[in-house]
Amino acid sequence: MNAKLEKDELLRQLPVFKEMGMSGVCMHSRTGLATEYLGEEWFELINTCADEAERLGLEAWLYDEGHLARFGSIEGAALQPGEMAYRTVIVNDMETIRGTTHAPAGLPARSVLTVSQPQPLAEPFGYELDEPNVCVLDFAAWRVGDGECQPEVEILRIEKALAEHHRVPARSGQMVQPWASKIAADGPSARVQLRFTFQIARLPENPVELLLEQPAKNRIAVNGRPVASTDHGWFIDPCFRRVPLPADALHEGDQWTDSYQLIPAGLLAAPEIRKA
């Protein structure tokens, strides 16, 4: 999803992906778009694609290149009877999928595709993840300074509203990643608080870490308990830093984590967020 985003073209591509045997699509969004990144049109197109993917039975993921707060647990797991696993099928002949003599447009007549089909499990099946399990927290309640707490909303909308309110250039026009930008440390600042809520059905057996950018610039609390912003290295990308949580910081049921960060300040009043 680069350059100019066009609704008709985006909607045309989704059925093609489904016809190719894909089980989902990744909406890769980035800076440098002709369509304003995080603008009203951008949000409308993202939501339109997500709705159409759901209608087609496709999973839809939004990948953003920065500023997505992440929370992860490193743990193996076991599926129980009745839960769904996925079976991988290698198909060497497009006719096996299509039932016709023609392959989807743009594909050779004979290709190797990986097709995932859900299958119910008759008995428990243990497995070990190749990578740590990650839960992305992308909705937050928030406030600026000592102002009123604002309702929970998408984190990207908060970022856009703060950038506009404090006259910070929009990321859609930036040519470098946010963590590489040279931002002056002096001058007035405002405290921004983000509160992410989530639930835990069963406590993980292995350590849990928060993943975030520049932890040294944040004060973090989990369930009201302060957490040291100790940097234990990076995860996936050097910008995402690992902050371990104390073993007793979490419990089963509702949880919340708070993050406080100082940003360049204009007025301390919270900016307005416009719904798409």
Q: Top-level CATH class of 133-264?
A: mainly beta
More confident residue, 62 or 212: 212
CB 161 within 8 A of CB 273: yes
Average pLDDT score over residue span 254-260: 75
Domain ranges of the chain: 7-63, 77-127, 133-264
What are 27-59's pLDDT values in tens digits? 766 555 677 777 788 888 888 888 899 899 888
User: 82-121 pLDDT, tens per residue?
Assistant: 443 333 333 333 333 333 333 445 544 444 444 445 566 7
Identify the three-state secondary structure at position 65.
Answer: coil
- Per-residue HEC secondary structure of the chain comes to CCCCCCHHHHHHHHHHHHHCCCCEEEEECCCCCCCCCCCHHHHHHHHHHHHHHHHHCCEEEEECCCCCCEEEECCCEEECCCCEEEEEEEECCHHHHHCCCCCCCCCCCCCCEEEEEEEECCCCEEECCCCCEEEECCEEEEEECCCCCEEEEEHHHHHHHHHHHCCCCCHHHCCCCHHHCCCCCCCCEEEEEEEEEEEECCCCCCCEEEEECCHHHEEEEECCEEECCCCCCEECEEEEEEEECCCCCCCCEEEEEEEEEEEECCCCCCCCCCCC
Write out pLDDT tens, residues 128-159: 777 777 888 888 888 887 788 888 888 888 88
Q: Does pLDDT of 276 surpass 50?
A: no
pLDDT at 126 > cutoff 70 = yes
Tell me what the mean pLDDT of segment 262-270 comes to: 39
**Strand 189-200, strand 77-79: pairing:** unpaired
> Band of the pLDDT at 229, cuts 50, 70, 90?
confident
